[in-house]
Amino acid sequence: MGLGAACELAYSWIGRPSIQKLRDLFWRRLTEEFDGSVVLNGHSTDRLPNTLNVSFPGKVGTEILHALDGVAASTGSACHSGSIELSPVLKAMRVPPETGMGAIRFSLGRTTTEEEIEAVVKGLRAILA
């Protein structure tokens, strides 16, 4: 029953146009800030309204996330015994390894604000500058 209640709650907000607008704002801000240095992983329109998966080619996603304080996100790679491997999903999508190693998946929630998105962009700018 708990899972059903959680799914019902998520369904009540995940399809709202506002969450998709925030996701699109986040992507727009990343492309403005990192033009040519950020790549969208996945389809440009047919994707979850609350998720943004991007890559910073030539960078390592886990290193970026470690330096990005206060942000809960995940990478598109897995670390095993000190080596980093491209995720099977990104491999299946034919994302080149030099791009996929810099992948980060950001998920927006019902309480995400524009100010939080700007703070993440600012943090990324400081890390990647």
Residues catalogued as catalytic:
79
Burial class (CB within 10 angstroms; exposed 0-12, middle 13-18, buried 19+) of 65: middle
Report the half-sphere exposure of 80 (CA within 13 A, side-chain side).
Answer: 5
